[in-house]
Structure 1
Amino acid sequence: MSVNLQALDKLGLSAATKATTTTDTSKSSQMGQDMFLKLMMTQLEKQNPLKPQDSSEFLSQLAQFTMVTGIQELKNSFSSVASTMSEGQALQAASLVGKRVMVESNQGVLGATGGLSGALSLDANSSNVTVQVLNAGGATVRTLELGDRKQGNVPFTWDGMLDDGVTAANPGTYTLKAEAVVEGETVALAPHVAAPVQSVTLGGSQGIEVDLGVLGRHKLADILEVLN
């Protein structure tokens, strides 16, 4: 809480103010609530009764101090709310460990016993929606033909089989390339991929983050959907 000392000059408190700072010239030119009230009372006690201080100046300074006090109290309240929200986010993030979440990524992991799932977000009705699965060498090993789709969320799943429908792909990390035809033009889409949360990092430089293994770390706000 602080009020600029220069504003007290008009109340006849400049002398008292200077007396408090002569022993330490490096002190701030701001004062706290207790000092302000003490100087205010001193000024009232010592003013000339035949020539009292202008009440308008007194009320103006008092209003200024009240406003500063209110702003500081409001700031403290917001700080308390922010701290509570941060703690709530931490608990929420910790509860995600072991669950599968959806984040935006052009990579997906094919497990030894399961497929790879994700979704696309279409801003408009589209035709010939496809998702290509590329191996580490950049070769397409599977093309998922999703056909005509309406605006909105479009889920997709790769069962791990190659284009021949017989051979199973090796487990590992694959790149996803999604496209759709919108009003006659082919546009690229950003895939959303599902992955399990392996751990949660709290208090880092990026805030709360979830570790999705091969897909890396993502902010809590990057999670688009919690699947299970």
Structure 2
Amino acid sequence: MSEVSAASSAVQSSTTSTTQTSAEESYQMWISILATQLENQDPTDPVDTTEYTNQLIGISQLEQQTLSNETMSSLLVSLQSVENDTSYGYLGEEITALGDTVPLSDGTAKWIYDLPSDASSVELEVQDTDGNVVYTVDGETSSGVHTFTWDGTSDDGSIAEDAPYVLAISAYNDEGELLDVTQYVQGTVTNIASDGTETFLVMDGVSVSKSTLAYVPGV
């Protein structure tokens, strides 16, 4: 997932502002219409009291909507501010999260995988984001949690460039059945991003949702 830009927040802000402005414009229009109606009414046939009261109720409801929009907008901004303040505490920290994509940074990319049972064979493939295989190696076959750290050396001996890479795991048991492997990524948080509704922790361009953070015992 690519880093969420500030443009998303701008769009949300614009949408909220548009809704609030619409309510305010409607409120002002009602006031203008009522004032014009009163100024131009026939003295011999004035506006009906019941109708006038209903119009005032309508204006009051529009006013309340405008105030509610302002309050809600302020509340959303406050909640997002609290969330971001909490997230900034992750900056510079190493995190573990569910996933298969991490950045190769300064010659290091780290994954964790958990085998549900012993495997007869485990193949680890490091792929670029286009699905091209960059590096292949046999993995640990015993059940449980294992860590795999890649130094960026490709199968042809060249050094891969710093970029996001995906770890694909093929693990089979003695019956030749494919095992369901749980994968995690590890990395250092370098930035915080948001799409207006969810906060992401960014590891050199690779974003992970805070909801995928995980604790892996022994790692």
TM-score, normalised by the number of residues in structure 2: 0.52
Structure 2 counterpart of 1:66: none
Identity %: 20
What letter corresponds to residue 96 of structure 1 in structure 2? Y
Does residue 1:109 correspond to 2:103, yes or no?
yes
Residues 164-215 of structure 1 deviation map (CA, whole Å, 9 limit, x = unaligned): 4x32222222222112112421235343111221233589423x44233432
Does residue 1:131 correspond to 2:121, yes or no?
no
After TM superposition, give the deviation of residue 148 of structure 1 in Å: 2.0
Structure 1 counterpart of 2:62: none
Query: Of 170, 178, 195, which aligns to 2:187?
Result: 195
After TM superposition, give the deviation of residue 143 of structure 1 in Å: 1.0
Q: CA RMSD in A?
A: 3.3
Structure 1 distance, partners of 2:127, 2:149, is 15
What letter corresponds to residue 151 of structure 2 in structure 1? D
Q: Answer 1 or 2: higher relative contact order, Cα 8 Å, separation at least 6.
A: 2
Structure 1 counterpart of 2:203: 212
User: What is the 5 A alignment of 1:1-228?
Assistant: 93-111=87-105, 113-150=106-143, 152-164=144-156, 166-184=157-175, 185-187=177-179, 189-200=181-192, 204-206=196-198, 208-216=199-207, 218-225=208-215
Structure 2 distance, partners of 1:194, 1:117, is 6
Structure 2 distance, partners of 1:161, 1:211, is 24
Structure with bigger strand share is 1
What letter corresponds to residue 145 of structure 2 in structure 1? N
What letter corresponds to residue 176 of structure 1 in structure 2? L
- Give the number of aligned pairs: 142
Return closer, same or farther for 1:138/1:209 CA change in 2, 3 Å cut-off: closer
Contact 1:129 / 1:149 at 8 angstroms: preserved in 2?
A: no
Residues 15-46 of structure 1 deviation map (CA, whole Å, 9 limit, x = unaligned): xxxxxxxxx9x9xxxxxxxxxxxxxxxxxxxx
Contact 2:92 / 2:190 at 8 angstroms: preserved in 1?
A: yes
Structure 1 distance, partners of 2:164, 2:194, is 27
Structure 2 distance, partners of 1:153, 1:124, is 10
After TM superposition, give the deviation of residue 158 of structure 1 in Å: 0.9
Give the secondary-structure state (helix, strand or coil) at the position aligned to 1:102. strand
Residues 126-162 of structure 1 deviation map (CA, whole Å, 9 limit, x = unaligned): 2312210123443322112114222x21111111112
Contact 1:127 / 1:147 at 8 angstroms: preserved in 2?
A: no
For the pair shown, which has the larger CA radius of gyration, 1 or 2? 1
What letter corresponds to residue 158 of structure 2 in structure 1? T
Return closer, same or farther for 1:163/1:194 CA change in 2, 3 Å cut-off: same
What letter corresponds to residue 118 of structure 1 in structure 2? W
Contact 1:105 / 1:215 at 8 angstroms: preserved in 2?
A: no
